Structure 1
Amino acid sequence: MFKEILIGLLAVISILYFIKLFRESRFNFLLRNKQKQMRVINTNVNFKRGTLVKALVPAMTIALVLLANPGVEYNKFSNTNPNVKIAEINSKSDIMSIYKDFQENIKNDGYFGRGVILEVEKETEALPEMTLDNSESMPTEKADDYSETNLQVVGVDEIDNVKTDGTFIYSISDGKVVITQAYPAEELSVYKSIKYNLEEECVEENCYSEYPSGMYVDEDYLIVVVNKNTRVNWKYYEEKKENEDDSVRNMIMPYWYGSSDTAVYVYDKEDNFELVSTFELSGNMIGTRKIGDNLFIITNEYVNYQAMEEDENLDVLPTYNIDGEEYTCGYEDLIYIEGTDPYGFTNIYGIDLDKSDVDLETILGSSSHNIYVSSSNIYTIDHRYHFFGRLEGLITDASENEELTTISKFSLNDHEVELTATGEVKGYPLNQFSMDEYKNNFRITTTTGWGENVLNRLYILDEDLTEISVVGETKEDKIGKPEERLQSTRFVGDIVYLVTFERTDPFYVFDLSDPQEPKKLGELEITGFSSYIQQIDKNHVLGIGFEADDDGRTTGLKLSVYEIDYDTVDELGLIKVEEIHKEVIGNGEGSWNWASVTYNHKDLMFNLNKGILGFPLSQTITDGKLWRHQSGFLLYDFSLEDGFKQIGYATHGVEDYNDYVYKGLYLDHNLYTISNHKIAVSPLDDVENFIKIIELVE
């Protein structure tokens, strides 16, 4: 009884303090005409921040008690970061408790969750259909020199929609994987095609379809990753007359009402591309890498909480299937990171392609599409919510509290995956190049805020994801000028290159050789900005992005070569950085240009030794009367001495979008351009003069 009375008195006192401080804070807020969110700063206020914190301690303590989840125990995982709390899950009730607490807390911040997800039964579908167009003999000739996928990390392969092994070109056309004999050029022809169930097929309650997302190719296998979609067949329920109150039929149509899963088909090249293994993985693929014979797939899948509440015997857990045999993740195999979105599972699958074995590590939480993979670790990121933003808003900048990224580190031992550390940084990374692992440290760049409140940060974390140092926290070490946001990052060993942009392009070079004290070496300010940067050698960096005028309006595409002279130092102690070559593909009154390479590094074909640089380029052109659209492959002769010299622009036609070129490869001295319906080959020094062009459609 005494305990209850004490808690009640503390609650009353805390509420009175809170009301008083709230009014005082609101008064100062109105005087300063700040943003809608209340905040208290150190100047021109009538009370100290420390006083506020002490006054709010009882209220915050009670709030923590009331909001705590009694059914889930946190910090059971041996995590070294004190800011990140981990909960192990042992039962369905643990998941439901986490979901309900999160839903209530986040709703109070104005976020109302997601639509209803219907439970759909997954049926075994027919295997992909193989067609053989040229089966008399297996080609054996191979080019001596051929394109490889442009990778972030050497030895860590990335999925792509076009691959080559020097003999064949593997491409995706109208939902098929087409295997084309590419070498020698004169014998260019379709060898095989693998057809998937692109057109939706409905069987009673459900409808099914699948589409290849991309491929890997090595000496032994062609590995095709396929997106499999299942949705509710509304027509089936409309036709049911037995139950006029059928809940599924009456549900609101805008709600998402299906599932997306991932399949991996493995074909043996030595056995004429015979299908040898099939893996079906629950969840929609958000990332994948391949290291040697081990394939890693990261998926997200939504948790059907409504169905779990309605059926106490229903378990909704991640599953996978190996050649028809199904396996299910157990509740005891799940963990949850406090404050992350519990609406889905993040599944990290490790697949041994030779042994057809699968390892699964699962987190309750939805990671983003940005992942980073080194030769020994996978890093996933997730947005983390603060549940006490309204209280913290009185003490600190609420926008800072809301923009947090949680990092999860998974160690790799062959195909086995294990969560080993979690960490947290302020802000959000831009893409996979915002992250890097070097000498056991994890480096990441992030951005928070908008307008005058923008802050760009560079973090260095140790192997336990504990902060070693950060650049960009103060005005003295700010990255970028006011309102400038990070546009690109590239880590190379002890060096990182950064590009920010608002009106001009500051290009920065930082030395990270001492993780405790990162040091800015040099900078350059020019017009436009590079959205992708790649080191050519120690002293030269390639930039691909956009040109801009003095007001920051983009005026076209731009290719740049930056030269970094480490031996020339100015009076401020900064090394010399200059743009030595520039090529602008301008947008005029009668033209507009667009290139996927500005955001997809795998569309860049670059070989310094061969002196070539190329990428797909789309154009919209008008003669003043009619607009014409085309997409081709733009190829340059390139050298550090002479820069960019255009060789030609190879197109497959301008009338049909199926002829838009989306990839280019080289095999020996020839360029192969790929569109949805065609592959063409031409000499590298005369790309518009085709040796041969073939149709990929039947």
Structure 2
Amino acid sequence: MRKHVFVTLALATVLIGAFIPPLITGFLGREGSKTTATQMLQGTSPAYNLEGLKRFGNYDELYRFLEKALAASRWYPGLVIASLDLLGAPRGEGGSGAGSQQASRTNVQVEGVDEPDVVKTNGELVIVASGNKVFVISTGERVVKSVIAFETGVKGLFLYEEKLVVFTESYGYYYEAVESTQSLKPPLGVPELRVYFYNITIPEAPVLLGEVSVSGYMLGSRLLDKYVYLVANTYIYEPIIPYVNGRPVPLETLVAVDQHPDAYTVILAVDLEELVYATYTFLVRSGGWLYMSMRNLYIACERPVTFIEASTVVLKAIAERMPPEEKGEVLNLLNEGSLDKAYERVNKYLSSLSDDVRQKLLDEVVSEINKEPMSDETTFYVFNVNGLSVSLQGSFTIPGLLLDQFAMEEFGGFFIVATTESIYEVRAYFYPALSLVLYERGGGVEYSSSNVTGTLHIGWSVIDTGNNVFVIDLESLNVTGSLRHLAPGERIYSARLIGDVFFLVTFRRVDPLFAIDVSDPGNPVVIGFLKIPGFSEYLHPLSSDRLLGIGVEEGGLKISLFNVTDPVNMSEIFKINLPSTWSLALYDHHAVTIHSGMQLVLIPFTRYDGGGASSGVLVIKYGSDELRVDAMLPHYSCVRTIYVGNELYTISPGLVKVFSLETYKELLQIPLLG
């Protein structure tokens, strides 16, 4: 397998601006609800270029394409040597209008691009999603004004002016009484995502304006200006087709961008003012992470080394050493995707060899393949977004897998991404099988054995890990600069781009904080390096020269303040260690609230001691050179903290507490009932 920094897929032939014509329609109103009438968008069909991408003339043609793509992925012969992960898998995910008072906003990666969360506020209202209900709370009256109930759990919310957007996801959905094609099945058992749109001008009586449904798992969503973008994955386990509003996605909105896809990706774009939407459907590798800038949407599709990939490489190498006629047969079978038949033919050939000859052949094959070890890869699909228009620019592939969305960032005309790359070696063993023969002699039972066709075992193992930083030119989608194999044997735990310095944390035993200068995209350079105990799971810029780290040290919560005035000589100038303490902020950046006016960091916490556990909100005061725990406000199972004016709202699934930001005194409680 090639191990290059950049691998071009078929998508590279797509010109900037090439895109699939969207399906545009009005929302379906809900029976018994007040709805606002909408009209389809008018105008001519947009011009587009699909050069290099496969389209389908009918659903039968799509069915045959999927059957062939699925054939190879279904092969799984006999015993397998399991993949060995030396360091453990990295952890995994995905703007409110201003009110009359100063209010917090959801902590997001890109300023101006909102992310869905379970709590939203505009200063006048606090909207809380809990289970399958959404609670609308007035900050003036400090009461729940209304409760909206759904049949399934709520995944997240957006608040745009007077409109509330609610995402729900139902698992095991069976798409009863839906329109179907003759050949492709509905995605039985795949979740159904529903997006509901409410007018909450009158908080006591939210009005349902419409809804739209999409089959698949929610990869992520973003709100940019007045447009909501939802990305859903439907994994392909048999020839199926995703559904939008109970109907198969139209073929004119669907293209294959990968010849061996394992998922559909549906992008839904919604205009919140006109209440119309567009859908785009792509056959790709399943997406793992989502990132969005002010102009582009990125879907990162991770491709770890698989058993099928390792087996194909081994079978091809063995075929090259077989007699010409048999070699051609095996290679043809592999090209057709018939791995099972190719495996049987190779296995039969190996069984015909003597032990010495067979072992020598396998040693040569393994040695040749491992001269250039395999590694994980991630493919990024890049889409330009402009309102309801989502145009596919192209893709690029780099070695390694992502930690999370903060490992990628757009700056200027470039895209920077950090990956942890696992290096694999293949193994190939042949075990002559023993056939036991049972028979009776003289009243006793005896066993005999004879050699029959043996079994080829193929596997792989991780031999090392390293960390990479790549800078991609967004015009050409080529890698213009890179750093390879940083901190061998370690994994990335957090990343953040601040200005033209990319901060990166890796960890195995201590916490190396790297400062990487990317001001010259063609030549990223490590300019600073700091080793301290523990590791940071989340990095947040408090100012241009102060960086907050939230992480772990010796099993407890650690809050660090870094001086990055000079990235060449960074320092940890203050830290707070909280033994036996954990925080949701370690895994969900939406749980972090920064009040820059009062210089406060607010995060939920849970502390364990001999007598049990306590939880609430940690209030940390920060300055230029120190951190101080100002308060630990008690609130069981707290998940979010927001502020409105001089009041602090702490939120758990069943209760909202209101505290004074000046005295930290509890003012009242608002139960989430109904």
Q: How far off is 1:110 after superposition?
A: 6.3
Q: Which residue of 1 aligns with 2:619?
A: 635
**Partner amino acid for 2:386?**
N
**Partner amino acid for 1:146?**
A
Q: Which residue of 1 aligns with 2:363?
A: none
Q: Which residue of 2 aligns with 1:557?
A: 557
Q: Structure 2 residue aligned with 1:318, among 242, 247, 254?
A: 242
| In structure 2, C-alpha distance between the alignment counterparts of 1:146 and 1:544, rounded to whole Å | 23
Q: How far off is 1:142 after superposition?
A: 5.2
2:669 is the counterpart of 1:674: no
| In structure 1, C-alpha distance between the alignment counterparts of 2:214 and 2:385, rounded to whole Å | 19
Q: How far off is 1:417 after superposition?
A: 1.1
CA RMSD of aligned residues (A): 3.1
Q: How far off is 1:425 after superposition?
A: 0.5
Deviations 1:185-240 (A, max 9, x none): xx31111110112xxxxxxxxxxxx2211111122211111113454699xxxxxx
| In structure 1, C-alpha distance between the alignment counterparts of 2:631 and 2:558, rounded to whole Å | 17
2:123 is the counterpart of 1:150: no
Q: Structure 2 residue aligned with 1:530, among 523, 529, 536?
A: 536
2:150 is the counterpart of 1:196: yes
Where relative contact order (Cα < 8 A, 6+ residues apart) is larger, the structure is 2
Are 1:507 and 1:525, in contact at CA under 8 Å, matched by a contact in 2?
Answer: yes
**Partner amino acid for 1:155?**
G
| In structure 1, C-alpha distance between the alignment counterparts of 2:592 and 2:78, rounded to whole Å | 40
Query: Mean alpha-carbon deviation: is it higher for 90-99 or for 452-461?
Result: 90-99
Q: How far off is 1:141 after superposition?
A: 12
2:546 is the counterpart of 1:540: yes
| In structure 2, C-alpha distance between the alignment counterparts of 1:352 and 1:673, rounded to whole Å | 32
Q: Which residue of 1 aligns with 2:41?
A: none
Q: Structure 1 residue aligned with 2:302, among 383, 407, 432?
A: 383
Are 1:647 and 1:685, in contact at CA under 8 Å, matched by a contact in 2?
Answer: no
Q: Which residue of 1 aligns with 2:467?
A: 456
**Partner amino acid for 1:223?**
V
| In structure 2, C-alpha distance between the alignment counterparts of 1:381 and 1:91, rounded to whole Å | 29
2:157 is the counterpart of 1:215: yes
| In structure 2, C-alpha distance between the alignment counterparts of 1:630 and 1:673, rounded to whole Å | 15
2:425 is the counterpart of 1:419: no
Q: Which residue of 1 aligns with 2:266?
A: 347
Are 2:556 and 2:579, in contact at CA under 8 Å, matched by a contact in 1?
Answer: yes
Q: Structure 2 residue aligned with 1:266, among 179, 183, 197?
A: 197
Q: What secondary structure is seen at the aligned counterpart in 1 of 2:66?
A: helix
Aligned length: 514
| In structure 2, C-alpha distance between the alignment counterparts of 1:585 and 1:596, rounded to whole Å | 14
| In structure 1, C-alpha distance between the alignment counterparts of 2:544 and 2:12, rounded to whole Å | 45
Q: Which residue of 2 aligns with 1:60?
A: none
| In structure 2, C-alpha distance between the alignment counterparts of 1:142 and 1:403, rounded to whole Å | 46
Alignment of 1:438-517 (within 5 A): 438-449=411-422, 453-464=464-475, 466-473=477-484, 478-480=485-487, 482-517=488-523
| In structure 1, C-alpha distance between the alignment counterparts of 2:10 and 2:623, rounded to whole Å | 57
Are 2:14 and 2:392, in contact at CA under 8 Å, matched by a contact in 1?
Answer: no
Alignment of 1:597-612 (within 5 A): 597-612=585-600
**Partner amino acid for 1:295?**
V
Q: Which residue of 2 aligns with 1:171?
A: 128
Query: Mean alpha-carbon deviation: is it higher for 388-397 or for 377-386?
Result: 388-397
Alignment of 1:638-677 (within 5 A): 638-641=622-625, 643-652=626-635, 659-677=636-654
Deviations 1:323-350 (A, max 9, x none): xxx66423343222336542x3111111
Q: Structure 2 residue aligned with 1:362, among 250, 259, 281?
A: 281
What is the identity percentage for the equivalent residue pairs of Structure 1 and Structure 2?
24
Q: Which residue of 2 aligns with 1:313?
A: none
Find runs of 4+ consecutive structure 1 residues off by over 6 angstroms: 73-76, 109-112
Q: Structure 1 residue aligned with 2:258, among 338, 347, 361?
A: 338
Normalised to the residue count of structure 1, the TM-score between the two structures is 0.68
Deviations 1:114-150 (A, max 9, x none): xxxxxxxxxxxxxxxxxxxxxxxxxx99552111111
Are 1:76 and 1:86, in contact at CA under 8 Å, matched by a contact in 2?
Answer: no
| In structure 1, C-alpha distance between the alignment counterparts of 2:422 and 2:236, rounded to whole Å | 31
| In structure 1, C-alpha distance between the alignment counterparts of 2:70 and 2:287, rounded to whole Å | 19
Q: Which residue of 2 aligns with 1:613?
A: 601
Q: Which residue of 2 aligns with 1:78?
A: 14
Q: How far off is 1:620 after superposition?
A: 2.3
Are 1:496 and 1:512, in contact at CA under 8 Å, matched by a contact in 2?
Answer: yes
**Partner amino acid for 2:169?**
N
Q: How far off is 1:111 after superposition?
A: 11
Query: Mean alpha-carbon deviation: is it higher for 328-337 or for 554-563?
Result: 328-337
| In structure 1, C-alpha distance between the alignment counterparts of 2:372 and 2:149, rounded to whole Å | 49
| In structure 2, C-alpha distance between the alignment counterparts of 1:75 and 1:579, rounded to whole Å | 44
| In structure 2, C-alpha distance between the alignment counterparts of 1:298 and 1:651, rounded to whole Å | 37
**Partner amino acid for 2:241?**
L
CA 1:40–1:257 in 2, change beyond 3 Å: closer, same or farther? Answer: closer
| In structure 2, C-alpha distance between the alignment counterparts of 1:454 and 1:211, rounded to whole Å | 38
Q: What secondary structure is seen at the aligned counterpart in 1 of 2:616?
A: strand
Q: Structure 2 residue aligned with 1:583, among 545, 553, 576?
A: 576
Q: What secondary structure is seen at the aligned counterpart in 2 of 1:152?
A: coil
Q: What secondary structure is seen at the aligned counterpart in 2 of 1:389?
A: helix
Q: How far off is 1:691 after superposition?
A: 0.8
Normalised to the residue count of structure 2, the TM-score between the two structures is 0.71
Q: Which runs of 5+ in 1 are unaligned?
A: 1-38, 42-72, 113-139, 198-209, 235-255, 309-315, 548-553, 567-573, 588-592, 653-658
Q: Which residue of 2 aligns with 1:64?
A: none
Are 1:282 and 1:299, in contact at CA under 8 Å, matched by a contact in 2?
Answer: yes
| In structure 2, C-alpha distance between the alignment counterparts of 1:381 and 1:465, rounded to whole Å | 18
